[in-house]
């Protein structure tokens, strides 16, 4: 390894959890570096299905250190529930560490999130209403409550009071739900329960890297939801790009050796925002049903579309991707022809055509995909175990993606199971991971 970043290269839901779970076997430490419980990772491991929202995907391996980094916003109610659920299923969580510098999602953050979306009406962002945005806003305003604050009653109560003061007008409709003393006691209880896991997350990362141990940096959501570089304002409240791994885990850029982008063989999106390749027809519904495209966190049906190479090239540049993992290739089995977006054009009254991702939101909102059609395949590829076993059309599809992104495809997902993956012939050259050798 030793330092490998895993990021989503689309609008999230790309299958990052499965890839991190697969690679965690060869790592010593897995660090989640941004986002909150608005993320959802589904893993099929040992014949069982697991769903994670805050805990890093490597938790299913005994002896691994799994760190929730300082860049994550943590709802302690959700985290303790997730820990209890794992314990009840016989999973050892002693290796779980929670950065003392991570910020907390407070009850008033959830209230503000709901109220904010309601005020926007038809212009709503489509947040998960988990309080993520308001928690990050408080962090930036220096009004945040951190994990370490749950270990000191005096500091905790003082900081909650200070955070509530500028919000009184907005929270007036929820006055009955805001009880300073009760909130303080609730979070002190969470602090007591989580104290055994609270640690200096950055120091854990430093020690692992200095000793040559493999470290996986796990991102949530996807690059196209980045607050700076995504389809703003229809984005998340953090930076789900590779550069944020350093900030969100407390390491330097020189500690990163490889950066993997995870992409589906098609595209999905949850919530509002531009989606140039979106399908509103029977094909889109077929992809949704075949791929089980319903949100892990929200249960909402995902919007579906053909693979967008304009956006994928953009994500590759933003993240300096060294490798691609293409998931859910099996979902495209059965289509006679498969479309791939290689450029954008404007609306009917606009002569805009470009192969680069547009920086101007008005252009992007009116952009639609220009496609090349590739031959499809009818075979069920879910049992394929090598690249050679894939139909020629499927191999051509992967080669097309490589050609247009300039990034080697090293891993291909052909089903939901952990063992339903194929390492390509490019993997040995593109990654130092033992599994690829």
| pLDDT tens, per residue, the chain with 437 residues | 589 999 999 999 999 988 988 899 889 999 999 999 987 777 777 778 888 899 998 898 899 999 999 999 999 999 999 999 999 999 999 999 999 999 999 999 999 988 866 555 555 555 667 899 999 999 999 999 999 999 999 999 999 999 999 998 888 888 788 899 999 999 999 999 999 999 999 999 999 999 999 999 999 999 999 999 999 999 999 999 999 999 999 999 999 999 999 999 999 999 899 999 999 999 999 999 999 998 766 678 999 999 999 999 999 999 999 999 999 999 999 999 999 999 999 876 677 888 999 999 989 999 999 999 999 999 999 999 999 999 999 999 999 999 999 999 999 999 988 889 999 999 988 888 766 65
CA–CA dist 140, 357 (Å, integer): 29
Does 41 participate in catalysis according to the annotation?
A: yes
Q: CA 262, CA 10: separation in Å to the nearest integer?
A: 8
Residues 10 and 231: beta-carbon distance below 8 Å = no
| Per-domain residue ranges of the chain | 3-99+200-436, 103-196
Domain 3-99+200-436 has CATH 1.10.1660.10: no
Other beta carbons within 10 Å of 180: 11
Which residues contact residue 211 at a Cβ distance below 8 angstroms, ignoring those fewer than 6 apart?
none
Q: Which residues contact 375 (CB under 8 A, 6 or more apart)?
A: 337, 338, 393, 396
Coil, strand or helix at 95: coil
CA distance 253 to 255: 5
Query: Between β-strands 409-413 and 353-354, what pairing exists: parallel, antiparallel or unpaired?
Result: unpaired
- 8 A C-beta contact, residue 160 and residue 106: yes
Pairwise CA distance, residues 409 & 287, whole Å: 22
Q: Could you count the other beta carbons within 10 Å of the beta carbon of residue 69?
A: 28
Rounded Cα–Cα distance for residues 217 and 68 (Å): 10
The dihedral over CA atoms of 241, 247, 251, 255, expressed in degrees to the nearest 10, equals: 20
pLDDT for the residue numbered 176: 81
Q: What secondary structure letter does DSSP report for 35?
A: B
Distance CA 408, CA 111 (A): 44
Which three-class secondary structure state does DSSP give residue 93? coil
User: 13, 21, 28, 75: which is the annotated catalytic residue?
Assistant: 13
Specify the residue for token string 């955070």. Answer: 163
Fold for 103-196, please state it.
Answer: Adenylosuccinate Synthetase, subunit A; domain 2 (1.10.300)
pLDDT for position 256: 96
Identify the active-site residue in 41, 53, 103, 404.
Answer: 41
Q: Which residues, in sequence order, are CB contacts of 209 under 8 Å at separation 6+?
A: 2, 3, 215, 251, 255
Q: What pLDDT is recorded for position 117?
A: 61
Sign of CA dihedral 374, 380, 382, 383: negative
| CB 205, CB 215: distance < 8 Å | yes
What is the predicted pLDDT for the residue at 125?
A: 54
């Amino acid at each position: 390894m030793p330092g490998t970043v895993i990021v989503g290269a689309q609008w999230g839901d790309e299958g990052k959890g499965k890839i991190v779970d697969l690679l965690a076997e060869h790592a010593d430490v897995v660090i989640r570096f941004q986002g909150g419980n608005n993320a959802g990772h589904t893993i099929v491991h040992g014949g069982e299905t697991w769903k994670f929202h805050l805990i890093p995907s490597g938790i299913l391996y005994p002896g691994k250190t799994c760190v929730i980094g300082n860049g994550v916003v943590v709802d302690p109610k959700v985290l303790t529930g997730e820990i209890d659920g794992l314990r009840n299923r016989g999973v050892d969580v002693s290796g779980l560490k929670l950065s003392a510098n991570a910020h907390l999602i407070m009850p008033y953050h959830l209230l503000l999130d709901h109220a904010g979306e309601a005020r926007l009406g038809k212009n709503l962002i489509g947040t998960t209403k988990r309080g993520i945005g308001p928690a990050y806003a408080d962090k930036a305003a220096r009004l945040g409550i951190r994990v370490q604050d749950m270990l000191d009653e005096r500091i905790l109560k003082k900081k909650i009071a200070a955070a509530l003061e500028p919000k009184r007008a907005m929270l007036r409709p929820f006055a009955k739900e805001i009880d300073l003393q009760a909130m303080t006691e609730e979070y002190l209880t969470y602090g007591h329960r989580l104290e055994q896991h609270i640690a200096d997350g950055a120091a854990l990362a430093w020690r692992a890297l200095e000793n040559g141990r493999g470290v996986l940096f796990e991102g949530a959501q996807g690059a196209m939801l980045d607050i700076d570089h995504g389809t703003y304002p229809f984005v998340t409240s953090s930076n789900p790009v590779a550069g944020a791994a350093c900030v969100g885990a407390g390491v330097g850029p020189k500690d990163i050796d490889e950066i993997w982008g995870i992409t589906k063989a098609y595209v999905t999106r949850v919530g509002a925002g531009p989606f140039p390749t979106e399908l509103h027809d029977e094909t889109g519904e077929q992809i949704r049903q075949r791929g089980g495209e319903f949100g892990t966190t929200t249960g909402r049906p995902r919007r579906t579309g053909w693979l967008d190479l304009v956006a994928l090239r953009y994500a590759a540049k933003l993240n300096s991707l060294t490798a691609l993992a293409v998931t859910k290739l099996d979902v495209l089995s059965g289509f006679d022809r498969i479309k791939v977006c290689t450029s954008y054009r404007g609306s009917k009254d606009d002569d805009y055509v470009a192969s680069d991702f547009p920086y101007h939101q008005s252009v992007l909102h009116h952009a639609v995909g220009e496609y090349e059609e590739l031959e499809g395949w009818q075979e069920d590829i879910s049992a394929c175990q090598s690249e050679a076993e894939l139909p020629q059309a499927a191999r051509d599809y992967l080669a097309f993606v490589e050609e247009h992104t300039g990034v080697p495809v090293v891993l291909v997902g052909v089903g939901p199971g952990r063992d339903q993956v194929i390492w390509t012939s490019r993997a040995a050259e593109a990654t130092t991971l033992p599994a690829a050798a």
